[in-house]
Amino acid sequence: MTVQELPGAGASSSYRPTPPPAWRPRKDAAPLLPDPEPYRVLGTPAAEKLDPELMRRCHAELVRGRRYNAQATALTRQGRLAVYPSTVGQEACEIAAALVLEEQDWLFPSYRDTLAAVARGLDPVQALTLLRGDWHTGYDPHEHRIAPLCTPLATQLPHAVGLAHAARLRGDDVVALAMVGDGGTSEGDFHEALNFAAVWQAPVVFLVQNNGFAISVPLAKQTAAPTLAHKAVGYGMPGRLVDGNDVAAVYEVLAEAVARARSGGGPTLIEAVTYRIEAHTNADDATRYRGDAEVEAWLAHDPVQLLEHELTARGILDESDIRAAKEAAETMAAALREQMNADPVLNPMDLFEHVYAEQTGYLREQAAMLRAELEAETE
Amino acid sequence: MAVSQLAAKPATMAQALTRAMRDAMAEDPTVHVMGEDVGTLGGVFRITDGLAKEFGEDRCTDTPLAEAGILGAAVGMAMYGLRPVVEMQFDAFAYPAFEQLISHVARMRNRTRGAMPLPITIRVPYGGGIGGVEHHSDSSEAYYVATPGLTVVTPATVEDAYGLLRASIASDDPVVFLEPKRLYWSKAAWSPDAPAEVPGIGRAVVRRPGTGATLITYGPSLPVCLEAAEAAREEGWDLEVLDLRSLVPFDEETVVAAVRRTGRAVVVHEANGFGGPGAEIAARITERCFHHLEAPVLRVTGLDIPYPPPMLEKHHLPGVDRILDAVARLQWEN
Ligand SMILES: Cc1ncc(C[n+]2csc(CCOP(=O)(O)OP(=O)(O)O)c2C)c(N)n1
């Protein structure tokens, strides 16, 4: 049919209106929809099936993580860290994300997820390089398969998709777990990453920590969606809603998503509902945008207490376990304090080292200039 | 890379680019091509023609329509040891990917103290002269060259298109590969006087020897400069034409040697003049050749306006007459 022959183009009388060809959705949306309430394990009958070994490990990590948060925050007060975005109250998400991955898997943290990186094995001091200010990331991402802590919001999400996709193309059993905040879900990169992941069926898990605020902006001003987990459905992947302070629940939901990804079932979007107990960073005044009552209510739903209560009630944990966990945490904090209180030795000439594989002519010139300046200073 | 490696010599720049990707993909299974329409269609300019058929859709992939997603996914793929070659469909449609480009692609090596270089080639058809509607003719090189960590190259000949693209794909650093779309199907860019060698990234080449003044140019402006040099003969001016090929790294030695030889220089490019690459080049020449200069270094560039509509683009693009006018202003009576 040419354009001239199209109905309406001329005075054709042969055209008879018919309904359009049958349309059907690509996928049934119902199985993708999140639960109406965040999924919980602790304090529910589901807790009967807890794995004692795993839970004791989670507990020790939570205690250590809480101590790490406290120590890092103290270091900002002493001027040893430029800034530290605390995850007090969010430790369950951080720890579950780190523990759920196999060694060959990759973690793509946001700028707040230092704790997840440490729980995955990154040296506590190295994890703070970015925040201390001696190098932007500094650590070798291959060592523990942890991508650089990412400052621009949501930009790490397409990286996770690309890496997971590449691994699958190469026939490797690798899952990527990407973390992002509630505010980050508004960024364009969030959309592009989820869409790519779903189209490519990439082995990725997206973990949104909905901690209530993006700096000062509450979730209600961030999105009009029923929940952030609902966003998954539009991309064609399952959305899961979980209590982000319940480490057992976060671990279980993550584990299920990781298993789905590993077996070729594609990506999952998980929204963990949690709360940022401390201010955004030390530069933020949280009293300007939230009241004490809200914080108090969340303090009563503390991830460490929640787990400790359940495990002691079930006889999985006793006083000596708790004491041992606290002691290990103190040892870590003392070592961190000591190492962070030593001034880092920096060589300004390193500035030119990692810009290109081979230095350009003008970089060599500028390096010579700086070297001369440094020599003049020491004379 | 010697031209003799090109068994059957591609006739056009478009064919040379396709051939470069094809050869790279055949030699190295980690090379992946991706972008909008690059698969079945072979790209809107057909530069990826046949690659999906030969190597499969996993190696030459039609992605969703999302430039940040394309480049962001390429970052992850490169982190896992692949060598992505991404196509940005048109110059001005690369802008949504700038966040990824500037915040991650350009810095990953630096941020990880060299532990994580990103061997990504970003192919960007650029420049005007094809009568494109808005957003299809931008010369965006100033944005790229201003970003440390990026290598920026642009071929002007068929041989360079092949050689530079092979070198870019082989590079362990991210390369912005600017393709002068105006020259895709033109064989005119090829100068028979030019040495038939592509010595790699970061080497400028003299396309036309001369003694009176040096025209410094790259990409789509090379044929214009060669034409201007031919026309200048009638005025008795013997012009040298230098093709930069690589904007970053910048071959300062070849440029400085040429200008010291001739004592006069005009930088020619399509990008806007203010803050354009020509400003940087002129500054460097002034710094290094001040006592050899017979005249100020002049620039003939695109106007400092958003890229004009097609019916007016001839007023924007540096043409032979503007180049000759500039050459005339080089105070020849001295
Ligand atoms: C692209 C980008 N825009 C703005 C910022 C500044 N910024 C840093 S953190 C932040 C809020 C992030 O909120 P959310 O994603 O909810 O994560 P949370 O801090 O709550 O963990 C903003 C706006 C940024 N880092 N990146």
Whole-prediction pTM value?
Answer: 0.90
Mutant choice from B93, B105, B112, B244 vs A, greatest count of A C-beta within 10 A: B112
Does A2 map to a domain? no
Query: Residue A236's Cα: distance from chain center in Å?
Result: 21
d(C-alpha A186, C-alpha A189), whole Å = 9
Q: Does position A359 have pLDDT exceeding 60, yes or no?
A: yes
pLDDT digits 0-9 by tens, A93-106: 999 999 999 999 99
Total tally of structural domains belonging to chain A: 2
A351 → chain B, closest CA residue? B110
The answer to whether B172 touches B146, Cβ cutoff 8 Å, is: no
Does A298 map to a domain? yes
Q: What number of CA atoms fall less than 13 Å from residue B151's CA on the CB side?
A: 33
- In a shared domain, residues A249 and A101: yes
Strand partners of residue B153: B177, B246
pLDDT digits 0-9 by tens, B219-256: 999 999 999 999 999 999 999 999 999 999 999 999 99
Dihedral angle, C-alpha A61, A63, A64, A66, nearest 10 °: 120
| Of B104, B135, B136, B292, catalytic | B136
> To test ligand 1's pocket by mutation, which of A187, A206, A215 has the most ligand atoms within 8 angstroms of CB?
A215
- The mean pLDDT value of chain A amounts to 94
d(C-alpha A143, C-alpha A146), whole Å = 8
Q: What is the ipTM of this complex?
A: 0.84
The answer to whether B187 touches B10, Cβ cutoff 8 Å, is: no
Asked whether the beta carbons of residue A354 and residue B109 sit closer than 8 angstroms, the reply is yes
Smallest Cβ–Cβ distance between A158 and the set B73, B78, B82 belongs to B73
Q: Which amino acid is at A281?
A: T
**How many cross-chain Cβ pairs, A to B, lie less than 8 Å apart?**
146
- In a shared domain, residues A130 and A208: yes
In this complex, is the C-beta atom of A294 within 8 Å of any C-beta atom belonging to chain B? no
Enter the DSSP assignment of B101: I
- In a shared domain, residues A263 and A361: no
Q: Does position B6 have pLDDT exceeding 80, yes or no?
A: no
Residue nearest to atom 19 of ligand 1 (CA): A214
Tokens of A175: 């899952």
Q: Please tell me the distance between residue A215's alpha carbon and the centre of ligand 1 in angstroms.
A: 7
Q: Does position B7 have pLDDT exceeding 50, yes or no?
A: no
Q: Please tell me the distance between residue A184's alpha carbon and the centre of ligand 1 in angstroms.
A: 6
The answer to whether B216 touches B267, Cβ cutoff 8 Å, is: yes
Q: Tell me which residue of B144, B287, B121, B113 sits closest to B218, measured CA to CA.
A: B144
Instruction: Say how many residues make up chain B.
Output: 334
Asked whether the beta carbons of residue A354 and residue B113 sit closer than 8 angstroms, the reply is yes
Q: Does position B38 have pLDDT exceeding 60, yes or no?
A: yes
φ and ψ of A265, to 5 deg:
-80, 0
Q: Does position A378 have pLDDT exceeding 90, yes or no?
A: no
Tokens of B31: 């090379």
Cβ neighbours of B64 in A, within 8 Å: 192, 195-196, 199
Tokens of A189: 């990169």
Given this model, what pLDDT does residue B2 score? 41
Q: Please tell me the distance between residue A340's alpha carbon and the centre of ligand 1 in angstroms.
A: 26
- In a shared domain, residues A291 and A280: yes
Does A18 map to a domain? no
Mutant choice from B113, B145, B150 vs A, greatest count of A C-beta within 10 A: B113
Q: Please tell me the distance between residue A152's alpha carbon and the centre of ligand 1 in angstroms.
A: 7
B253 → chain A, closest CA residue? A361
Q: Does position B280 have pLDDT exceeding 70, yes or no?
A: yes
Which residues, judged by CB distance below 6 Å to any ligand atom, belong to the binding site of ligand 1? A 112, 151-153, 181-184, 211, 213-215, 276, 280
User: How much helix, strand and coil, in percent to the nearest 5, is found in chain B?
Assistant: 40, 20, 40
Per-residue three-class SS string for chain A: CCHHHCCCCCCCCCCCCCCCCCCCCCCCCHHHCCCCCCECCCCCHHHHHCCHHHHHHHHHHHHHHHHHHHHHHHHHHCCCCCCCCCCCCCHHHHHHHHHHCCCCCEEECECCCHHHHHHCCCCCCHHHHHHHCCCCCCCCHHHHCECCCECCCCCHHHHHHHHHHHHHHCCCCCCEEEEEECHHHHCHHHHHHHHHHHHHCCCEEEEEEECCEECCEEHHHCCCCCCCCCHHHHHCCCEEEEECCCHHHHHHHHHHHHHHHHCCCCCEEEEEECCCCCCCCCCCCHHHCCCHHHHHHHHCCCHHHHHHHHHHHCCCCCHHHHHHHHHHHHHHHHHHHHHHHCCCCCCHHHHHCCCCCCCCHHHHHHHHHHHHHHHHHHC
- In a shared domain, residues A226 and A371: no
* Catalytically annotated residues of A: 276, 280, 289
Dihedral angle, C-alpha A260, A263, A267, A270, nearest 10 °: 20
CA distances from B173 to A122, A356, B108, B169 (A): 26, 6, 10, 9
A354 → chain B, closest CA residue? B110
Does A12 map to a domain? no
Q: Tell me which residue of A86, A66, A64, A61 sits closest to A76, measured CA to CA.
A: A86
Residue nearest to atom 13 of ligand 1 (CA): A214
Does A129 map to a domain? yes
Does A323 map to a domain? yes
The answer to whether B140 touches B92, Cβ cutoff 8 Å, is: yes
d(C-alpha A234, C-alpha A240), whole Å = 13
- In a shared domain, residues A186 and A45: yes
Which atom belonging to ligand 1 lies closest to the Cα atom of A185? Answer: 15
Asked whether the beta carbons of residue B113 and residue A353 sit closer than 8 angstroms, the reply is yes
Least confident of A253-267, B97-111, B178-192, B315-329: B178-192
Cβ neighbours of B112 in A, within 8 Å: 137-141, 148, 354
Q: Does position B3 have pLDDT exceeding 90, yes or no?
A: no
Q: Please tell me the distance between residue A183's alpha carbon and the centre of ligand 1 in angstroms.
A: 6
In this complex, is the C-beta atom of A166 within 8 Å of any C-beta atom belonging to chain B? yes
d(C-alpha A148, C-alpha A136), whole Å = 9
- In a shared domain, residues A360 and A336: no
Given this model, what pLDDT does residue B69 score? 96
- In a shared domain, residues A251 and A264: yes
Q: Which amino acid is at B61?
A: T
Which atom belonging to ligand 1 lies closest to the Cα atom of A210? Answer: 16
3-state secondary structure of B174: coil
Enter the DSSP assignment of B306: S
3-state secondary structure of B246: strand
d(C-alpha A116, C-alpha A153), whole Å = 17
d(C-alpha A12, C-alpha B248), whole Å = 62
Q: Which residues contact A116 (CB under 8 A, 6 or more apart)?
A: A93, A94, A95, A97, A98, A107, A109, A179
Beta strands across the sheet bearing B265-272: B205-208, B239-243, B213-217, B265-272, B298-302
Strand partners of residue B61: B34
CATH number of the domain at A94, please. Answer: 3.40.50.970
Residue with tokens 């890229």: B307
pLDDT class of B196 with cuts at 50, 70, 90: low
- In a shared domain, residues A260 and A297: yes
More confident residue, A6 or B317: B317
Q: Does position B45 have pLDDT exceeding 90, yes or no?
A: yes
- In a shared domain, residues A339 and A356: no
Does A293 map to a domain? yes
- In a shared domain, residues A284 and A362: no
Q: Does position A214 have pLDDT exceeding 80, yes or no?
A: yes
Query: Residue A273's Cα: distance from chain center in Å?
Result: 13
The answer to whether B142 touches B276, Cβ cutoff 8 Å, is: yes
3-state secondary structure of B260: helix
Q: Tell me which residue of B123, B141, B129 sits closest to B278, measured CA to CA.
A: B141
pLDDT class of A10 with cuts at 50, 70, 90: low
In this complex, is the C-beta atom of A92 within 8 Å of any C-beta atom belonging to chain B? no
d(C-alpha B279, C-alpha B276), whole Å = 6
d(C-alpha B268, C-alpha A376), whole Å = 41
Q: Does position A4 have pLDDT exceeding 90, yes or no?
A: no
φ and ψ of B203, to 5 deg:
-125, 120
- In a shared domain, residues A156 and A41: yes
Asked whether the beta carbons of residue B79 and residue A152 sit closer than 8 angstroms, the reply is no
Expressed as residue numbers, the domain containing A251 is 31-345
3-state secondary structure of B35: strand
Tokens of A237: 């992947």
pLDDT digits 0-9 by tens, A228-273: 999 999 999 999 999 999 999 999 999 999 999 999 999 999 999 9
Tokens of A31: 């199985």
Q: Tell me which residue of A247, A207, A214 sits closest to A228, measured CA to CA.
A: A207
Does A126 map to a domain? yes
φ and ψ of B61, to 5 deg:
-110, 130
pLDDT digits 0-9 by tens, A54-73: 999 999 999 999 999 999 99
Tokens of A275: 């709360």
